[in-house]
């Protein structure tokens, strides 16, 4: 049965928002955000830095020097463009892939590496850095964000809560509960769904009959927008608008960024060649957010090969230093884990604590 006209009318409202096309040309002059030349260069620097970081992290993982790692190449514009629209007082509730956003929000590379290794210090966020520990349970951060945003509203803080998930996360029950709660209580929340088309391995078309994820905002009574997630200026613009909407008391926003993850879902054995074609990979490589933005900046004489090489070398040096510091972190003990689980240990854990203390002292 064909879709009803009502559904077609809804879907027609969610055409993809874009500012730069694949050639780095402005196609939506009116939507250009007010960013200085230095801010434009900073956006490019962050994307180049993150691409190098991603490459090195994959290499470190293969060497056994990192634990869990979820590659980010291809999603830099979606991640960094949205974070750039935030202020220090805003809260980020990341998924496990969203490490670049929280590093640029204030945590160190060293801590990011410790988190990847499962070290307890990796989850101990610095005072004054408003980020939660990356969520491993897919979609769980959505309901948490609704709660954090409610707290910000009740305290009249001039801040929003933003969270990230993928298209697979948008198929979880927590996603629907979270955006519905946020809409019902009109809280300052931003929900970013990075639609990289395959979740872990299931095509988005098999996850939902909806043409877009953005249109799911209608049922929750909140604002929704679909944006070209390979266009960092477009992502920045819609996130900035969403933040202003939340602070003005006009409720949450659901942002669907259309993007593509070039690597595997994680380094834990995923093989994307089993569910993606080389033709599709080639199609999306032509949309590479770094290539697109580089062309734009070069056209404005704001970026050069020398600029890029400086960022690449800085990234390599920083990563080398951070992994060395992470290597020097105290080895984790079983008693450390038991100690941080509860403010006051229950009887059974007290017994285990004594047992392990005795073993560790030998």
Which DSSP string corresponds to 118-166? T-GGGG-PPTT--BPPPB-STTHHHHHHHHHHHHHHHTT-S--EEEEEE
Considering the domain architecture, whether residues 107 and 83 belong to the same structural domain is answered as yes
Is the CB of residue 50 less than 8 Å from the CB of residue 100?
yes
Whether 26 shows a pLDDT value over 90: the answer reads: yes
Residues 171 and 118 reside in one and the same domain: yes
Residues 255 and 236 in one domain: yes
Count CB neighbours of 39 within 10 A: 12
CA 99 to chain centroid, in Å, comes to 7
Instruction: Show the domain range for 361.
Output: 332-362
Residues 6+ away with beta carbon under 8 Å from 61: 67, 69, 267
Instruction: Please give the torsion angle defined by the CA atoms of residues 48, 261, 138 and 271, in that order, rounded to the nearest 10 degrees.
Output: -120
pLDDT computed for residue 175 by the predictor: 98
pLDDT one-digit tens code per residue, 92-124: 999 999 999 999 999 999 999 999 999 999 999
Confirm whether 69 is a catalytic residue. Answer: no
pLDDT tens by residue, 256-273: 999 999 999 999 889 999
What band does 24 get if pLDDT is binned at 50, 70 and 90?
very high
**Residue 341 — very low, low, confident or very high, per pLDDT cuts 50/70/90?**
confident
Tell me, yes or no, whether 343 and 290 share the same domain.
no
Tell me what the mean pLDDT of segment 82-88 comes to.
98
Same domain (yes/no): 237, 353: no
| Number of independent structural domains in the chain | 2
Residue 361 in this model has a pLDDT that exceeds 60: yes
Q: What is the mean pLDDT of the chain?
A: 96
Active site residue 243: no
Residue in the block written with tokens 């090195």: 56
pLDDT for the residue numbered 7: 83
- Answer yes or no: do 353 and 216 share one domain: no
Locate the DSSP E strands across the chain: 91-93, 161-166, 189-195, 223-228, 253-258
**DSSP-assigned states of every residue in 204-247:** HHHH-SSS-SGGGHHHHTSEEEEEETT-HHHHHHHHHHHHHHHH
Name the catalytic one among 56, 265, 276, 292: 265
Q: Which of 183, 114, 120 is nearest to 153 (CA)?
A: 183
**Position 293 confidence tier, pLDDT thresholds 50, 70, 90:** very high
Q: Are residues 231 and 346 in the same domain?
A: no
What does the H/E/C string look like for 237-254? HHHHHHHHHHHCCCCCEE
pLDDT attached to residue 11: 84
Distance in angstroms (rounded) separating the CA atoms of residues 19 and 250: 25
Of the residues 176, 185, 275, 356, which is catalytic?
275
Is this prediction's pTM over 0.85? yes
For the domain that residue 166 is a member of, what is the CATH number? 3.40.50.970
Same domain, 188 and 282: yes
Active site residue 275: yes
Tokens of 283: 């199609």
pLDDT at 2: 64
Is the pLDDT score of 170 beyond 70?
yes
Q: Is the pLDDT of residue 81 over 90?
A: yes
161 and 119 assigned to the same domain: yes
User: Which residue among the candidates 243, 261, 292, 294 is catalytic per the annotation?
Assistant: 261
Same domain, 97 and 233: yes
Report how far residue 38's alpha carbon sits from residue 113's, in angstroms, rounded to the nearest whole number.
29
Distance CA 150, CA 161 (A): 9
Residues 6+ apart with CB under 8 A from 306: none
Q: Bigger pLDDT: 11 or 267?
A: 267
CA 166, CA 75: separation in Å to the nearest integer?
11
- List the structure tokens of 359: 């073993």
> Is residue 1 over pLDDT 70?
no
Same domain for 356 and 320, yes or no, is no
Residue 221 — left, alpha, or beta (φ > 0 → left; ψ -120 to 50 → alpha)?
left
DSSP β-bridge partners for residue 135: 95
Whether 153 and 9 map to the same domain: the answer is yes
| pLDDT of amino acid 342 | 87
Write the pLDDT tens digit of every residue in 30-57: 999 999 999 999 999 999 999 999 999 9
Residues 190-249: tens digit of each pLDDT: 999 999 999 999 999 999 999 999 999 999 999 999 999 999 999 999 999 999 999 999
Where is pLDDT greater, at 9 or 97?
Answer: 97
Instruction: Provide, rounded to the nearest whole percent, the portion of the chain with pLDDT above 90.
Output: 92
């Amino acid at each position: 049965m064909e879709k009803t006209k009502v559904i077609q009318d809804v879907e027609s409202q969610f055409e993809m928002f874009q500012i730069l096309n694949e050639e780095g040309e402005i196609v939506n002059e009116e939507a250009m955000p007010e960013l200085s030349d230095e801010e434009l260069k900073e956006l490019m620097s962050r994307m180049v830095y993150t691409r190098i970081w991603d490459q090195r992290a994959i290499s470190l993982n293969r060497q056994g020097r990192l634990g869990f790692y979820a590659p980010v190449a291809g999603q830099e514009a979606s991640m960094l463009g949205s974070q750039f629209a935030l202020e220090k007082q805003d809260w980020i509730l990341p998924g496990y892939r969203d490490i670049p956003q929280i590093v640029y929000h204030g945590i160190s590379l060293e801590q990011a590496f410790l988190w990847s290794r499962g070290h307890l210090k990796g989850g101990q966020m610095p005072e004054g850095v408003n980020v939660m520990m990356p969520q491993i349970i897919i979609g769980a951060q959505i309901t948490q964000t609704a709660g954090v945003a409610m707290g910000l509203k009740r305290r009249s803080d001039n801040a929003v809560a933003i969270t990230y998930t993928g298209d697979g996360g948008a198929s979880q029950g927590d996603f629907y509960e979270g955006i519905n709660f946020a809409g019902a209580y009109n809280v300052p929340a931003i929900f970013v769904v990075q639609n990289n088309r395959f979740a872990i391995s299931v095509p988005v078309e098999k996850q939902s009959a909806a043409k877009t994820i953005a249109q799911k905002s209608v049922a929750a009574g909140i604002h929704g927008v679909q944006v070209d997630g390979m266009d960092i200026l477009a992502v920045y613009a819609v996130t900035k608008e969403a933040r202003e909407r939340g602070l003005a008391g006009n409720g949450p926003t659901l942002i669907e960024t259309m993007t593509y993850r070039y690597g595997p879902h994680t380094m834990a054995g995923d093989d994307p060649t089993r569910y993606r074609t080389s033709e599709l990979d080639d199609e999306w490589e032509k949309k590479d957010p770094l290539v697109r933005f580089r062309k734009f900046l070069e056209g404005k004489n704001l970026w050069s090969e020398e600029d890029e090489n400086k960022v690449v070398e800085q990234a390599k040096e920083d990563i080398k230093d951070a992994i060395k510091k992470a290597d020097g972190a105290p080895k984790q003990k079983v008693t450390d884990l038991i100690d941080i689980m509860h403010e006051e240990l229950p009887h059974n854990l007290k017994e285990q604590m004594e047992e392990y203390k005795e073993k560790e002292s030998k």
